[in-house]
Amino acid sequence: MIQPGIRIGSRASRLALVQAEYIKSRLQQAHPEVAFNIVKISTQGDLNRRVSMGELPGVGFFVKEIEAALMADEVDIAVHSLKDMPADVPPGLALTAVPEREDPRDALISRGHYSLSELPPGAKIGSDSLRRAFQIKAVRPDIQVVSIRGNIETRIKAVDTGQVDAVILAAAGLIRLGWRDRINQYLSLEIFLPPPGQAALGIEIRSGDDRRAALTAAVNHAPTHQAVKAERAFLRRLGGGCRAPIAALGTVDGAVLTLRGTVADESGRTIITDQASGDVSAAEKVGIALAERLLSLGAAQFINKAGE
């Protein structure tokens, strides 16, 4: 007997729909007695493609409208790219499941199939990320980083048409879209540490909705979920929605969770990096401990300045 359908809220971009379809198929496989359908929702981030992310007010540009639909009972489950989710989940909602993370690295796509070190002097790399800008400058100070927004297709087209010489994108998105062959170089995590949550998906429901919590538990990957908890706790303690470039990646080895994190000033000239480890069951404590350590090392002045 088919039970009442479950509505899955998602952004309408190609990548978001691929991700939502993946979650839908996983849930359908685990619960063949339930009907699932996807509801497309436009977000502020989708509607303001010409505005730099740094100029958009507040946080949660790609999730607010979906969360509003969830709160209004217009959808039952929301699927997000976790890196788009603010550190604090709104009251009344809960992040209940995180599937296994895809490759967390950044990837370079360039004209001429160059690696980052092979790009010509003064080459232009398109990016709207302060984090990527300072990471690029750390290894190639001659590179020009130019602001570029739009979906993945738009940014790749900017390379193909000569608007820029290269772009840096999350490898996970390219892999999920089936465009692995466009990647010219996977960038080292030692230098290009990703933002909290990169390559992971988050499933959000209304708090206290035991039925949906039980449904979504089928796709949860405990090591990824714990790693992401540490990354988000790290971000939350540093100020959540601050504009300072912040990067973090948690890894789980048995019962040990290790979190590496970075905070930089907006110019990228001063960068503070450290790591912390602890029991996987205390993921949030690991994240908070690392944030406290970086704040004590001077990151507080970057956070305060970025929040002004």
- Name the residues annotated as catalytic: 84
Do 45 and 61 contact (CB within 8 A), yes or no? yes
* 3-class state of residue 121 by DSSP: coil
What is the per-residue DSSP string for 255-274?
TEEEEEEEEE-TTSSSEEEE
d(CA 263, CA 285): 18
**Block residue for tokens 């990647």:** 183
d(CA 105, CA 144): 21
Chain centroid to Cα 56, Å, comes to 17
Do 286 and 275 contact (CB within 8 A), yes or no? no
**Block residue for tokens 């001063």:** 270
Radius of gyration for the alpha carbons in the chain, expressed in angstroms and rounded: 19
- Identify the CA nearest to 245 among candidates 270, 228, 224, 226: 270
d(CA 162, CA 235): 36
What pairing do the DSSP bridges indicate for beta strands 3-11 and 77-81? parallel
Detail the DSSP E strand segments found in 104-165.
106-110, 124-126, 144-146
Q: For residue 257, give both structure tokens.
A: 């969770």
- DSSP letter (8 states) at residue 166: E
* 3-class state of residue 7 by DSSP: strand
